[in-house]
Amino acid sequence: MKRQKRDKSTRAHSKGYQAGISGRSKDNCPFQSAETRSQWLGGWREAAEDRHLGMSIK
């Protein structure tokens, strides 16, 4: 059975969250298009808020 790829916006959000939870800067966003960049930054903000609340991965 073939695996189905997730859409780019979901993947961008997930990657942004991973970057944010690990403490990377939001300036490190690898996406250029406005939609995927927005999703990445949304994930990054969500992770930054979670990290602020004490939810970190170790």
pTM here?
Answer: 0.80
N- to C-terminal Cα distance for the chain?
34
Distance of CA 27 to the CA centre of its chain: 12
8 A C-beta contact, residue 56 and residue 27? no
Type of residue found at 51: R
Per-residue pLDDT of the chain (58 residues; tens, 9 = 90+): 566 677 899 999 999 999 999 999 999 999 999 999 999 999 999 999 998 888 655 5
Instruction: Write down the domain spans for the chain.
Output: 7-22+32-58
